Amino acid sequence: MTINIKKVSGVNIIEIIDNNVDSRTAPKIQEEIFPLIELNTKMIVDLSQVSYMSSAGLRMLLSSYRQVTAKNGKIILVSLSEEIKDTMTITGFLDFFNHSENAVTGLALLI
């Protein structure tokens, strides 16, 4: 698993490069994301390389959402696969997140 982090116009863009986000990878992703969360953090999580997300991955996203919003920040998920989008819609998780087709359009929503 690889996590690429870059900052563009004050927005942290986290690109997760792994086919699966599950109980093996979710804690590692959380370890990378949580230190980036500060007051008024703006964050994009790019899931374009992720095709499967387990309940552990969903919990990690929800926990990240709670941490970011508790500090008056914003988080946007981008490039969700249809499978992940369907799972998040059915479970109600997608209601918590703003989402966009890609990082460019997601960035436009934050700046």
Domain residue limits, the chain: 2-110
Give the C-alpha separation, 5 to 7, whole Å.
Answer: 7
DSSP secondary structure string for all residues of 7-75? EETTEEEEEEE-SEESTTTHHHHHHHHGGG--TT-EEEEE-TT--EE-HHHHHHHHHHHHHHHHTT-EE
- Per-residue confidence (pLDDT) for residue 1, from 0 to 100: 87
The per-residue pLDDT string of the chain (111 residues; one tens digit each, 9 = 90 and over) reads: 899 999 999 999 999 999 999 999 999 999 999 999 999 999 999 999 999 999 999 999 999 999 999 999 999 999 999 999 999 999 999 999 999 999 999 999 998
Domain 2-110: CATH superfamily is STAS domain (3.30.750.24)
- Per-residue confidence (pLDDT) for residue 77, from 0 to 100: 98
- Per-residue confidence (pLDDT) for residue 111, from 0 to 100: 82
